[in-house]
Amino acid sequence: MGLLSKKATCNTHGQDSSYFLGWEEYEKNPYDEIKNPDGIIQMGLAENQLSFDLIESWLAKNPDAANFKREGQSIFRELALFQDYHGLPSFKKAMADFMSENRGNRVSFNPNKLVLTAGATSANETLMFCLADRGDAFLLPTPYYPGFDRDLKWRTGAEIVPIQCTSANGFRITKSALEEAYEQAQKLNLKVKGVLITNPSNPLGTTTTRTELNHLLDFISRKKIHLISDEIYSGTVFTSPGFISVMEVLKDRKLENTDVFDRVHIVYSLSKDLGLPGFRVGVIYSNDDFVVSAATKMSSFGLISSQTQYLLSTLLSDKNFTKNYLEENQIRLKNRHKKLVSGLEAAGIECLKSNAGLFCWVDMRHLLKSNTFEAEIELWKKIVYEVKLNISPGSSCHCNEPGWFRVCFANMSEETLKVALDRLKGFVDGPSSTRRSQIEHQRLKNLRKMKVSNWVFRLSFHDREPEER
Amino acid sequence: MVSFATEKKQDRNLLSRIASGDGHGENSSYFDGWKAYEENPFHPIDRPDGVIQMGLAENQLCGDLMRKWVLKHPEASICTEQGVNQFSDIAIFQDYHGLPEFRQAVAKFMEKTRNNKVKFDPDRIVMSGGATGAHETVAFCLANPGDGFLVPTPYYPGFDRDLRWRTGVNLVPVTCHSSDGFKITVEALEAAYENARKSNIPVKGLLVTNPSNPLGTTLDRECLKSLVNFTNDKGIHLIADEIYAATTFGQSEFISVAEVIEEIEDCNRDLIHIVYSLSKDMGLPGLRVGIVYSYNDRVVQIARKMSSFGLVSSQTQHLIAKMLSDEDFVDEFIRESKLRLAARHAEITTGLDGLGIGWLKAKAGLFLWMDLRNLLKTATFDSETELWRVIVHQVKLNVSPGGSFHCHEPGWFRVCFANMDHKTMETALERIRVFTSQLEEETKPMAATTMMAKKKKKCWQSNLRLSFSDTRRFDDGFFSPHSPVPPSPLVRAQT
């Protein structure tokens, strides 16, 4: 339609990919334990729903915060008018401290270098607008979060060139892969402006090693380009080897006074660690004052609601709460992760050894009819439509080897996870097994129906003579 | 092992052109006014000689009604005892369609603010990061880099940033004149269209703000029809920014473009879009509730996908859904707000009338368009700037000069009146009275201004960082006193 922009008529928003199609199918037929037990179980949603009770009990103990009061006085009016793009000072301080805490206080963050944005979605796009011109490229290790195709490229006109990582070495970023990606960009006549990594990784669930971080810093220094580290999952690290932020490495290597320091930027959010994606809380942290300044102005296009800033400033300023939350959340994630991994093992399915994230990177290569992406999509369709699990195929994450799938574990109850694992086992064990479990399922359904009708029958029995039943 | 350069180079070449350029519009000398206010903000007790902020178009007259409602409805918060059972559902809700009850409540509110003369479809309501985000999104949807939008002058300076900065779109002014009350005429539209053509700028749409910022005037039915017909005939979009819809004074009527398109046969509705927000009508700029309402299905679809970059916090959606579905409250609020705006408008205009200062007759807005042309030494923008500096530094009122709104004629100033209490308004009027009487006494009225111009303060730095120093006067450093979206002007209006 000539009436609309190219952006409106192309599909660089990436929402025609299988990642989103699986969601659509889920939406048509969502699982519910009682109302729709045959529905599709959502395992494609990297959400953390394990620790709301901790927040809710904090709210119960802090009525002032809950009621937008400060020392008993309502501050709603002031909040309603507060639209300063520098953000609520107390909120930025609390966020900077929380980010520090997430890194074991091994690094500290300056609130004046924080920029608030409407979610990490907005943070990533804003950084692109600040660092890349139309047609410039950023290098991203594969596999990567499918949303980056939209967030980094759509309206900015930037390009993504993949850094190919393979299962041969656990998908680690190597020096040669970095160089190859850079050369590939040159061949395509694309000017490389930087590298973007997600640490811990989505979809792998692994933390970036110190070696990799060192390679990255050496690389960006040599090429005089930027490094963006999306650390949105930093609070989801539940076991060793532990989380190392790029900021720590810069500090350990005493690089604070070098030019590379200003070219490292962090993206963060409360959507995963605190499980609050609806509140749209994103953050850009940069050591470069120009980037902070430009990004702050751009944040006008997506400021965080003052109501939300205030609530979270009080929540995060409570250090007892944050300490307890981070510890407890990690314990729960670890347990849930274990359940998924052992459930998959029981079905003869392995996954990449991981220590973080809200998902596992699952190896189903042995279930493919052939070592192709067509076979991967075929398998994926079966899993969505027949096994009724929405999981994300590796191709949607730009993985260069077919057969890998991202399976989320923190966005459902334990019971639902068990149902999902049973279904998967049933599928893997074979059609006869599937048929057996279908028969069993029907039998249970009938049993429930019978029980109900018995109950109804018993009620009406008293009104009748025995021989009329 | 790589060796790292030890001298720190703050090299702006490492940033994008967008980031290192001036497209954000904040490098203008007009920021002197804001700076003067921030350095010395008026307070009736602590700083009675401070600068009074009259450059901020905010509606603060009905905050008490809002506060009362919030206190009476703890269930509208997801954090209170009464509302916490909804906490987790709301906290995880990030669907870019938005909460259905939020969209329904907003649609209903939009209807009420247009006197229930039209119906709005909740499924066409798309969220954005304030009207700021809405405008940028619409520009991304309708125009490619290098394309242009026609915009009648004078217009809100923020458009220079919102519509152009990251989108690469051009703004082509449609010149309006005081001689006919700054009406938007078809001749002016045609002239602007022709200008664009000569400059090789493909025109994609016309953006009007109705009620107007900075004029406060509303478009009458005939004018609206002519705009719809003009854009339809040219096959270009019509974007109506109706952010001030409910700020009409007392009984004055506001006619939305939504109403007018019902009366035009064969109107191509795919070209009609509305930008709205709760920031002005409800006085809630901090909550960032922006709306794109389009009659074009494809635009709704795409804008919705883009809304991922600026969704309304689900916590806020929930509050607003509850608040705006309380119809009794909404009706009372709108009624009371209009009365208070009318009263405040009457107060300031009566004061100005008594001093012989002219102002554009208007029926809406949170400001008035003040006529100080007779106080200019010469009918130039240099003179306007001189006069403006006197008003800021000597009279200590931060008002906004017409040049910052791309006004074609020097001598006009936008003066906001709804962002202060009654006493402050009185103080401001008193200062104007003193100033005008001083001018009458002096034989060379502009001697004082020349002196002031020589002593002018430092220009605003390009790095617009607020410093939260202790000398600043506001509650415990909890809130910053200043609006983040200052006027973003060119130094001169382009003709």
Binned at pLDDT 50, 70 and 90, residue A431 comes out as low
With contact defined as beta carbons under 8 Å apart, do B102 and B317 qualify?
A: yes
Predicted pLDDT of residue A465: 32
Arithmetic mean of pLDDT, B477-481: 40
Mark yes or no for CB contact A59/B20 under 8 Å. no
The arithmetic mean of pLDDT across residues B255-262, rounded, is: 97
User: Is B85 in a helix, a strand, or coil?
Assistant: helix
Find which of A1, A3, A42 to mutate to test the B interface (most B CBs within 10 Å of its CB). A3
String of b and e for B426-448 (b: at least 16 CB within 10 Å)? ebbbebbeebbeeeeeeeebbeb
Continuous H helices in B355-421: 381-393
Cβ atoms of residues B274 and B240 within 8 Å: yes
Span A88-107, mean pLDDT? 96
The answer on pLDDT for A456 being more than 70 is no
Inter-chain CB proximity B271 and A3 less than 8 Å: yes
User: Residues 382 to 441 of A: which have CB under 8 A from any B CB?
Assistant: none
User: Would you call B271 and A74 a contact, using CB atoms and an 8 Å cutoff?
Assistant: no
DSSP H or E segment with residue A60? helix A52-61
Q: pLDDT band for position A148 (50/70/90)?
A: very high
Contacts of A123 (CB under 8 A, 6+ apart): A115, A117, A267, A268, A269, A282, A283, A284
Rounded Cα distance, B155 and B347, in Å = 25
Q: Which of residues 83-102 of A touch B (CB under 8 A)?
A: 83-86, 88-90
Give A443: exposed, middle or buried? Use CB within 10 Å, 0-12, 13-18, 19+: exposed
Give the pLDDT score at A64. Answer: 81
Smallest CA–CA distance from B144 into chain A, residue: A5
A78 touches chain B (CB under 8 A): yes
Give tens-digit pLDDT for A177-229.
999 999 999 999 999 999 999 999 999 999 999 999 999 999 999 999 999 99
> What mean pLDDT, rounded, does chain A reach?
90
Mean pLDDT of B383-412: 95
Does the active-site annotation cover B183? no
Residue B388 region, left (φ>0) first, then alpha (ψ -120 to 50), else beta? alpha
* Region A350-356 average pLDDT: 97
* Cβ neighbours of B83 (radius 10 Å): 20
Q: What is the pLDDT of residue B159?
A: 96
Using a CB–CB cutoff of 8 Å, tell me whether A279 touches chain B.
yes
Q: Which pLDDT tens digit goes with each residue over A237-254? A: 999 999 999 999 999 999
Instruction: Look at the block and give the residue holding tokens 């959340």.
Output: A329
Q: Greater confidence, B202 or B441?
A: B202
ipTM for the predicted complex comes to 0.87
Task: Give residue B460's pLDDT.
Answer: 33
- How far is the C-alpha of B430 from the C-alpha of B330, rounded, in Å? 35
CA B108 to chain centre: 23
pLDDT of A306 over the 80 cut = yes
Work out the minimum CA distance from B410 to partner chain A, whole angstroms.
29
Q: Give the closest of B279, B311, B483 to A118, CB-based.
A: B311
Q: What is residue A21's predicted lDDT score, i.e. its pLDDT?
A: 79
Output the DSSP codes for A365-412. Answer: GGG-SSSSHHHHHHHHHHHHHTS-EE-EEGGGGT-SSTTEEEEE-SSS
Contact B477, B15 (CB under 8 A): no
Span A317-321, average pLDDT: 96
Does any CB of chain A come closer than 8 Å to the CB of residue B469?
A: no
pLDDT at B399 over 60: yes
Among A309-318, A435-444, A453-462, name the most confident range: A309-318
pLDDT confidence band for A375 (50 / 70 / 90): very high
Q: Give the DSSP H or E segment for A191.
A: none
- What local confidence, expressed as pLDDT, does residue A459 receive? 39
In angstroms, the CA A88 to CA A107 distance is: 22
Nearest to A307 among B2, B24, B319 (CB): B319
Q: How confident is the model at residue A449 (pLDDT cuts 50, 70, 90)?
A: low
Please say whether the beta carbons of B94 and B314 come within 8 A. Answer: yes
Q: Is B80 on the interface with A (CB under 8 A)?
A: yes
Q: Which member of B93, B161, B313 has the closest CB to residue A308?
A: B313
Read off the pLDDT of each residue in B192-219 and give the average, rounded to a whole number: 97
Class of residue A437 by CB neighbours under 10 A (exposed 0-12, middle 13-18, buried 19+): middle
SS3 call for B204: strand
φ/ψ bin of A61: left (φ > 0), alpha (ψ from -120 to 50), beta (otherwise): alpha
Residue scoring higher pLDDT (B126 or B467): B126
pLDDT band of residue A63 (cuts 50, 70, 90) is confident
CA distance B87 to A310: 16
For all residues of chain B together, what is the average pLDDT?
A: 87
B53 with A285: CB under 8 angstroms? no
User: pLDDT tens digits for A111-138?
Assistant: 999 999 999 999 999 999 999 999 999 9
Distances in whole angstroms, Cα of residue B301 to Cα of each of A58, B134, B218, B294, B295 = 39, 14, 30, 10, 11
Residue-wise pLDDT tens digits, A272-302: 999 999 999 999 999 999 999 999 999 999 9
What pLDDT is stored for residue A130 in this prediction? 97
pLDDT at B11: 60
B79–chain A nearest CA distance, Å: 5
* For residue B74, pLDDT beyond 70: yes
Distance, in Å, from the CA atom of B112 to the CA atom of A36, rounded to the nearest integer, reads 40
Catalytically active residues of A are 145, 230, 232, 272
Who among A63, A84, A278 is closest to B92 (CB)?
Answer: A278
Average pLDDT over residues B287-301: 97
Evaluate if residue B479 carries a pLDDT over 70: no
